[in-house]
Amino acid sequence: MDKLVVNGPNRLCGELTVSGSKNAALPIVFASLMAEGVHTINNVPRLADMDSAQRMLLCFGAEIDQNMKSQFGANWVVDTRNIKSGEAPYDLVRKMRASFFSLGPLLARRGEARVSLPGGCAIGARPVDLHLNAFEALGAKVEQEAGYVTVRAKDGKLPGGKYVFPFVSVGATENVMMAATLSKGECVLENAAREPEVFYLAEVLNSMGAKISGHGTSTITISGVDRLEPMNFTIPPDRIEAATYLIAAHMTGGSITLHNAPVVDLGAVLAALAESGAEYGIEENIIQLESSGDILPVSIKTEAYPGFPTDVQAQWCALMTQANGVSTVEETIFENRFMHVPELIRMGANIKIDGNKLTIKAKKSALTGAPVMATDLRASASLVLAALVAEGSSEVLRIYHLDRGYESMELKLRSLGARVERV
Ligand code: EPZ
């Protein structure tokens, strides 16, 4: 089991290219199931989660060639002419719950799908009731038995209909939007997720011949079409990875230039960084950030897009341990997303948890190196950031969590001057 050994403190200075977005790529690679043919998907990040998605596609009968020309990213050629199974088995779905996004595409392609329920994960129970309610609202027949869910469309095509989400769900919006593209009628999704990943997925589907409008707003309308053509698409950059490295530069009082940065998707994060004393400039898709190392306390509350992203909450906590003053962090999306906090406290942070709210009392360089345990993807990123500024050596254990969502983090950090080794 790999671990990262990080020696701090030191300033990060340098340039990075942002990798393709994991959370955009996952539904997009599953969307290839909906059109018979050979698809080209470029700039897919090389991550454990993408490997899991590949295994899932192969299990349905797809054939995939992956060519990796440069040091980062990969170009996939996916042949979905022979999809012979519509069943996603438990042992694959439990490894990566986003496999549940195969449900909508399989339903659209084959008229039925049988997918294992994903079960919970470290950050929460993460039920899929909204996915299933939305499929039913569009006319599908949904049955659950023995830990699997079977979704069927009468005579192979969803009739269509309208679903009002009781609260925002990114995955449910994506899953049912994919199924709706090949429905017989019109589908309207209200209170749909507005995340950039939903917008990019709709753009890909429209490039394949779908008729989707309103994506990026709370009301998405999908007019069903008979068939879709294979995609030829380049995965956009990862806004959560970009936010993580911007925070790392600010936290260490350094400077960073991000190339291929998703500038338009980073509004709330850039505003919070500016409020906390970082200075940044934007030129097309390049962000340059400078930090004096004087970090001002900025309280945040996570919200659905365009609010402050829950996937940047743990990293923000690490930054606020270095701020001159008291800040609060409120998590409103997941019920158990503070697992980085006990580990930060072991490094010397002064953080109080009260339900879904934290109070962080900071004093400069209050952290000392320690062995810490990663528990989920973004918590592990938070611990690496803390280790960059802590006095002495830290060991971040179980970094397979990190490998799910960050492409070669130790290489990227070393290129910015960090003292970090994978052991
Ligand atoms: C996506 O997960 C992301 N994952 C998550 O990123 C991200 O944190 C989350 O959206 C919120 O932005 C991918 O895109 C692969 P939700 P998703 O459905 O779709 C509850 C990361 O670190 N809910 O928007 O699963 C749910 O439990 C990952 O990259 C239901 O109750 O998130 C949560 O509390 C972590 N019933 C809230 O809604 C449902 O049917 C938001 O979940 C669906 C969700």
245-283 pLDDT, tens digit each: 999 999 999 999 999 999 999 999 999 999 999 999 999
Q: What pLDDT sits at residue 119? A: 76
Among the residue ranges 31-35, 86-90, 188-192, the one predicted with the least confidence is: 86-90
Pocket of ligand 1 (CB under 6 A): 23, 26, 98, 124, 126-131, 169-172, 197, 310-311, 333-334, 377-378, 405
State mean pLDDT over 205-234.
98
Residue 71 pLDDT level (bands cut at 50, 70, 90): confident
State mean pLDDT over 167-173.
98
Percent of the chain past pLDDT 70, that is, above it, reads: 99
Query: Mutate which of 165, 333, 404, 407 to test ligand 1's pocket (most atoms within 8 Å of Cβ)?
Result: 333
CATH superfamily placement of domain 22-234: Enolpyruvate transferase domain (3.65.10.10)
Q: What pLDDT sits at residue 366? A: 75
Smallest CA separation from ligand 1 atom 37, residue: 333
Specify the residue for token string 């409020």: 275
Q: Compute the distance from residue 310 Cα to the ligand 1 centre, in Å.
A: 9
Q: Compute the distance from residue 336 Cα to the ligand 1 centre, in Å.
A: 12
Beta strands of 89-177 (E only): which ranges? 112-116, 141-145, 148-152, 161-164
Q: What pLDDT sits at residue 95? A: 84
Which residues touch 36 (CB under 8 Å, ≥6 apart)? 80, 81, 83, 230
Rg (CA), the chain: 21
State mean pLDDT over 312-331.
97
Helices (H), 71-142: 90-93, 103-110, 129-137
Q: What pLDDT sits at residue 365? A: 56
Residue 28 pLDDT level (bands cut at 50, 70, 90): very high
Query: Mutate which of 19, 121, 126, 406 to test ligand 1's pocket (most atoms within 8 Å of Cβ)?
Result: 126
Catalytic residues: 121
State mean pLDDT over 147-168.
95
Per the model's pLDDT, the better-predicted residue between 122 and 27 turns out to be 27
Q: What pLDDT sits at residue 27? A: 98
CATH topology for 4-19+237-422? UDP-n-acetylglucosamine1-carboxyvinyl-transferase; Chain (3.65.10)
Where does the chain hold its CATH 3.65.10.10 domain(s)?
A: 4-19+237-422, 22-234
Handedness of CA 342, 344, 345, 349 (dihedral sign): negative
Top-confidence range, 87-91, 200-204, 367-371:
200-204
Q: What dihedral do alpha carbons 411, 413, 414, 416 form, nearest 10°?
A: 130
Residue 149 pLDDT level (bands cut at 50, 70, 90): very high
State mean pLDDT over 317-323.
97
Q: Note the pTM of the prediction, 2 decimals.
A: 0.97
